[in-house]
Chain A
C-alpha cells in the first residue's frame, strides 16, 4: 500500500515535472520551427529584393544576399522602357484578370452558396456535391479541354479565354454555403421578406453583409489563384499584349540564352509582380482573419 502510494506520488511528481519541462521544451521547439519556417519563406524574397537592386555586372560578381551598388530604380526604369513598356501592360492585364475575375467569381460563388444553403429544391445536395467535386479537379487538368472548347468557339487568344474560366470557384461555393448556413439566420431572411424585400434585394443588402468575411476570403483565394495561374494563359494566349505578368516573365526567362541581359529585367520584374499580392493580402488581412476565426467557432 505504502509502496503503491509512494509510487503514485513519485509518478505524479514526475508527470508534473515532465509537464512543465515539456512546455518549455515544446515552446522552444515551436519557436525554432517558426523561425526556420520564416527564414525559409523570407530568404528567397530577400534574395529577390537584393538581386533586383543590382546592376548586371554586380549580379554575378557580388554576394547574392547582400547589396552592392543600389540601383533598384535604374533597373525599374529599364524594365518599364523595355519593348515600349510591355511590362506595365502585363501588370495591367494581370490586374484585370485577377481583379475582375476574382470579384465576379466571388459574386457568383456567394450567390450559389447562399442559394444552396437557404433554398430547398430538388437536387440541391447533388448540385452541391458536383460543385464540391470540382474542388478536387486541378485547374491545370482543365486547361487543355478548355483550350479545345475555346478553339471551337474561335475565342482563344482573347481576354475571354483567360477571364471566363477564372469566374468559377468551386471552393468559393463550398465556403459560401457553409458560411451562409452558419451566419445568415433564417429569421433575418424571413424578416426581410416580411418587410417586402425581394429575394435578390435580401441577398445583396442583408446576406452579403453577414457573409462579408467569407467573401473576402474567397476573393483573396481567387485573386491569388488567378494572379498565379500560369498554365491557362500559356496555352490560350499568343499575343504578347494579352499576357499576364507571370506568363510574360516566363517568356522572357526562356530568352536568357539569346539575350543574357534580360535576366536582370526578369528579376526586377518578379519583384514588382509580387507587390500587388502583398498589398492585397495586407489590405484585406483584417477581414480575412476574423472570417477564418468566425468559421472556426461555428
Chain B
C-alpha cells in the first residue's frame, strides 16, 4: 500500500511536470531582426492597454483600416499586474501583438527579450523627428537602427502652487530650490506646509533627480551600472531630508484621503508634479478651484530651465507577434495622429509624446481650475527641457519597492533618505545579479 501511494503520487507529479515543460517551449522566432514585411490579407491585432477609453481612438483606426482590425484588451496598470501578465504570456507564446509599457518598464522587457525590434518597419525610423527628444532615446536604448516601441505620452514636471496664498502672504513664487526652502520657512510660520514629501512615489523622486541632471542607471558596454547614490541623487535626497528634519514639509502618504484633504483645506501650498497631476488636484481639492497656478520647477541653478519627467507610456510590439508590420503601423498612427491623440486626451487626459501633440486644441485653452491660466504652455516648455540621457533600470519595480521601504522609514525618523538610497543601491545590485543581468559594481 505504501509503495503504491508513492507510485501514484509520483505519477501525478510527472504528469504535471510534463504539462509544464511542454508549455515553456511555446516561444516563436517570428519577426527576426531586420525583416518587416506586410502580411498577406486582412489581419486582426490584439492590443492590451489600461488607458481608459482608448477604444474611441481605436475605433477611428478600425474604420479607416478594414484590413487591419485592432481589438482592445484591458487589465490593471502595468505594475498592478499587466506587466506580469505580459511576461507570463510571452512565456506561454500567446502575448498580444501590442502592449502598453511605461518608459520605466521598457528596459525590463528589453532585457528579457520581450520586444520586437520594429526599426525595419516602414516609416518607423523616420518618425523620430515627430517625438519630443528625450522620449526617442527611451525606446531605442541607443541602439543603431533599432526601435522597440512608439512613445505615447509623457509627464513633464512643473510646480503647481496656490497663487492666492502666495499673494496674500507676499511670498514670491520660488524659482530656485533655495528660494523654495526660504518660502517653506515662511509658509510654516503661517501654519501651512509648502509641500508634502511623497514617501511612496519613488518615480516622482526619480523625476527630481532627473531634473538635477542625475542618473540612476546606465550601461557600460554589456554591463549595467547602478548609481542611486550619484552626487545629484544624494543632493536631492539631502535637500528633502533637510525639509523633513525641519518640519517644513508634511509627510502624508500620497494618494490617500488625508493627503487630498490637506490640499483641499489649504494646508499644502504647492505640489511639484507631472502634467497629469492637474486633474489630481482638481479632483482631490475641489474647494480650492480657481486658486491654483502652474510655474516651472524650481531650479538648482538660478536662471536654469531643467525639468524632470514623471510617468509616460509607450506602445510596444511584443515578441512573437505574427504581424509586426501592421502592429508597428498602428502604434505609430495611434501616437501621432491628431484625431487619435485628441480622443485619448479626451478619455484619459494623456499628454502626447509628439512635438505636435502639445498644440492640440485641448491644450490651447485656459483652465478654469487654474484661474484661467494656459497651464499646458508651461508643461510643453518643461517637456523640451527634460534631459534626454536618463536611463531606467531593468528592475524598476524592485527599486521602487526597496527605496519606498527606506523612504517610509526615513519619514518616521529611522535613517535618512540618503541611507535609503544607499540600501536601495545594494539591493538593486543584488536583484540584478539574481536575475543574471550583468552589472558593474
Partners in one complex: yes
> Chain A interface (Cβ within 8 Å of chain B)?
56-57, 59-61, 64, 123, 126, 129-130, 144-145, 147-149, 151-152, 154, 156-157, 234-235, 238-240, 250-251, 253-263
Annotate B96-128 by CB proximity to A: 1 below 8 A, 0 otherwise.
100000000000000000000000000000000
Instruction: List B270-322 residues whose CB lies under 8 Å from chain A.
Output: 276, 279-280, 282-287
Cα–Cα, bound, A239→B46 (Å): 10
Docked-complex contact B5 and A60, CB < 8 angstroms: no
Q: Which residues of A contact B48 (CB under 8 A)?
A: 238
C-alpha gap A49/B85 in the complex (Å): 33
Interface 9-residue window, one of B57-65, B68-76, B183-191, B358-366: B68-76
17 pairs of residues in contact across A and B, judged by CB atoms under 8 Å? A57-B286, A126-B8, A129-B5, A148-B20, A148-B23, A149-B20, A151-B89, A154-B94, A235-B88, A238-B74, A239-B73, A240-B73, A240-B74, A250-B76, A251-B75, A255-B50, A255-B77
A145 near B16 with CB under 8 A, answer yes
Question: Would you call B8 and A259 a contact (CB within 8 A)?
Answer: no
Whether A126 contacts B74 by the Cβ 8 Å rule is no
- CB of B257 closer than 8 Å to a CB of A: yes
Q: Known interface pairs A148-B23, A258-B348. Does A238 touch B286 (Cβ–Cβ under 8 Å)?
A: no
Instruction: Say if the beta carbon of B51 comes within 8 Å of chain A.
Output: yes
Asked whether B8 lies within 8 Å of A152 as measured between CB atoms, the reply is: no
Which 4 interchain pairs have the tightest Cβ spacing?
A260-B283, A151-B92, A238-B73, A148-B23
The reply to whether the CB of B52 lies closer than 8 angstroms to some CB of chain A is yes
Q: Is the CB of B88 within 8 A of A234?
A: no
**Does B349 interact with chain A (Cβ within 8 Å)?**
yes
Q: Which residues of A contact B9 (CB under 8 A)?
A: 130
Question: Chain B's interface: helix, strand, loop or mixed, by majority?
Answer: helix
**Contact in complex: A126, B348 (CB < 8 Å):** no
Known: A238-B48, A238-B73, A238-B74. A257 touches B255 (CB 8 A): yes
Chain A contact residues, majority secondary structure: helix
Min distance, Cβ B322 to any Cβ of chain A, angstroms: 15
Report B-chain residues with C-beta under 8 Å of the C-beta of A57: 286-287
Q: Is the CB of B23 within 8 A of A260?
A: no
Distance of A31 from chain B, by nearest CB (Å): 32
Chain B residues near A60 (CB, 8 Å)? Answer: 257, 260-261, 264, 284-286
Q: How far is the CB of A97 from chain B (nearest CB, A)?
A: 17
Which partner residue on chain A sits nearest B350 by CB separation?
A258
B4 within 8 Å of A (CB atoms): yes
Complex contacts, B279 vs chain A, CB 8 Å: 258-260
Query: Contact: B276 with A130, CB < 8 Å?
Result: no
CA distance A234 to B48 in the complex (A): 13
Does B12 belong to the interface (CB within 8 Å)?
Answer: yes
> Are the CB atoms of B80 and A61 closer together than 8 Å?
no
Q: Which of A56, A144, A145, A255 contacts B286 (CB 8 A)?
A: A56
Are A238 and B96 touching (Cβ within 8 A)? Answer: yes
A240 to B51, CA, bound (A): 13
Residues of the A chain whose Cβ atoms lie less than 8 Å from the Cβ of B76: 234, 250-251, 253-254
Known: A56-B283, A61-B264, A238-B73. A145 touches B8 (CB 8 A): no
Taken residue by residue from 1 to 28, chain B's Cβ proximity to chain A (1 for < 8 Å, 0 otherwise) reads as: 1001100110010001001101110100
Shortest CB distance A267–B (Å):
11
Interchain nearest-CB distance for B202 vs A (Å): 15
In the complex, the answer to whether A123 meets B284 with C-beta atoms within 8 Å is no
| Smallest Cβ-Cβ distance to B279: which chain A residue | A260
**Residues of chain A lying within 8 A (CB to CB) of residue B42:** none
Which of A126, A148, A258 lies in contact with B51, CB distance below 8 A? A258
* Measured CA separation A198–B80 after assembly (Å): 53
For residue B81, CB closer than 8 A to chain A, the reply is yes
- Known contacts A60-B260, A260-B283: does B92 contact A147 (CB below 8 Å)? yes
A91–B16 Cα distance when bound, in Å, is 34
Complex: how many Å from CA A157 to CA B73? 10
Closest A residue, CB atoms, query B289: A57
Q: Within B309-356, which residues are at the interface with A (CB < 8 Å)?
A: 348-350
Give min CB distance, A217 to chain B, whole Å: 28
